[in-house]
Chain A
Amino acid sequence: MNLSEVVAALGCQVLAGNSSLTQNVENVCACDLMSDVLVVEKDNLLLVTSLTTEQVVRTADIVGAHGILISNGKKPLEKTVQLAHQLNLPLLSTKLNTFEVCVELGKLLKK
């Protein structure tokens, strides 16, 4: 699946990285502990988290994730959005909670 499909299926708001939504996603990491994300070694990764700090974008960039999806309808800090813009890293936000996001993404991945 690509990020545009995720946006459509989960009703996401696109906060940054509009031009990179065609990127492919094959793996999902749902995690609020950035230390744990740094151990993930999967390609074509989408990071799902309810954390909204700049470090979320930094961490996603470091592990080469293709996008970030912020759950629970949380609004990321302005600096977080700015950094995502700078790195052209898709930053999405949805009202669904993390579990619901995972269920929906699971369905999409099975298609």
Chain B
Amino acid sequence: MTNFTLDSSPSVVLELTLRLKIRDVMTTELILAEKKDSLRHIQQLMKHNRITGVPIVEGKRLVGMVSVDDIIQALDGGYIDDPCDHHMSRQLIVLEDDMPLSLGISFFEKYHFGRFPVLNKDNELVGIVTSRDILTSLLMEMNKEMEHLEEKLAPQKEVPPECWSREFTLHKFDFEHAGSASGTIKKEIKDKGLDPKNLRRIAVASYEMEMNLIVHSLGGTLKVEHTPERTILEATDVGPGIEDVDKAMTEGWSTANDWIRSLGFGAGMGLPNIKRVSDEFFIQSQVGKGTLVRSIIYHPPEKEVTHEHS
């Protein structure tokens, strides 16, 4: 099997795997056994239920797993009638029910197990995930998503080749993909042929907006609308909102934590820098509701390139 990573997947798929939680895809009807049960009993459970792994529990607590491999070894070693206690795997890799599906997919790639038990916050066994579960729920969700996208696409008018627009969905603390939206924006607009100075202003504004959404917001969208006359960038999020917008517009004022700073961000330069590179800048925020930041950059006819800074 070739190695699979989600990195190069389309954003719709990435978003799906982040939005879906392990609890959305796991099986909750569990076939379980206890430590005192014999391996033969577990073999029968596997046969009747057509499964390849059985969690061993004490009450709601997971204490081990018995897989088909363990059964084959038991048959080979002649201890199939022993209680499973001494033969089950105790070193378990588990998933938590509120982890994003993307993590589950990476676990299958990383550990090569056929299934992962799922625990809740209280460390109780609540489900089990196989690659089949993931495949089924992903396909179902993709169907829904495609229908949704097709609806969206249908009424759109044809866009002239010199114009470009797109909307990116961004997630809180998704550092893995931080910068890919603005990277795309820069590349697409560069292909339209634009004065390099203005291209840099657009790139800087979109990157700062993208980092703000990832670092500070609970998630949101970055929208770009480019025509030969101007580029509009708009970042909208679903919270938490900025308490004091004037303070947030002050250079050096920041609410970022040490972790964000260790990545080279959170210097309190983001919003002022967006304003600096914009011809028009607008910010509106309400605590508990969200924040809207809009930046407009004009592209004057080539001969009279001037850069006004508001």
Contacts and interface: CB of A to CB of B under 8 A. Distances in A.
Interface in B232-275: 263-270, 273
B265 A34 contact: yes
B57 to A, nearest CB: 39
B183 interface: yes
A5 interface: no
B208 interface: yes
B200 interface: yes
Contact of B273 (A38, A54, A55, A58): A38
Interface string B181-206: 01100100000000010011001100
A33 B267 contact: yes
B264 A56 contact: yes
B281 interface: no
B228 interface: no
Contact of B264 (A35, A39, A61, A64): A35
Contacts of B266: 35
Contacts of A51: 263-264
Interface string A32-62: 1111101101000000010101111011011
A33 B263 CA distance: 8
Given A34-B265, A35-B265, A51-B264, A63 B203 contact: yes
A58 B183 contact: yes
A58 B199 CA distance: 15
Of A36, A41, A58, most buried by chain B (CB within 10 Å of CB) is A58
B298 interface: no
Contacts of B182: 58, 62
A38 B271 CA distance: 12
Contacts of A64: 196, 199-200, 203
A55 B178 contact: yes
Contacts of B196: 64
Nearest to B254: A35
Interface residues of A, number: 20
Contacts of B264: 32-35, 49, 51, 53, 55-56, 59
Nearest to B261: A33
Contacts of A41: 200
Contacts of B203: 61-64
B269 A58 contact: no
Contacts of A32: 264
B270 A35 contact: yes
A68 B248 CA distance: 30
B83 interface: no
A61 B185 CA distance: 12
A55 B265 contact: yes
Interface string B37-65: 00000000000000000000000000000
B276 interface: yes
A23 to B, nearest CB: 14
B207 interface: yes
Contacts of B183: 58, 61-62
B290 interface: no
A35 B203 CA distance: 13
Contacts of B100: none
Those 3 A-B pairs whose CB atoms lie nearest each other, nearest first: A58-B179, A35-B267, A34-B264
27 contacts: A33-B265, A34-B263, A34-B265, A35-B264, A35-B270, A35-B273, A38-B204, A38-B269, A39-B273, A39-B276, A49-B264, A51-B263, A51-B264, A54-B179, A55-B265, A56-B264, A58-B207, A59-B179, A59-B207, A62-B179, A62-B182, A62-B183, A62-B186, A62-B204, A63-B200, A64-B196, A64-B203
Given A39-B269, A59-B179, 16 more contacts: A35-B267, A36-B269, A38-B207, A51-B264, A53-B263, A54-B179, A58-B178, A58-B182, A62-B179, A62-B200, A62-B204, A62-B207, A63-B204, A64-B196, A64-B200, A64-B203
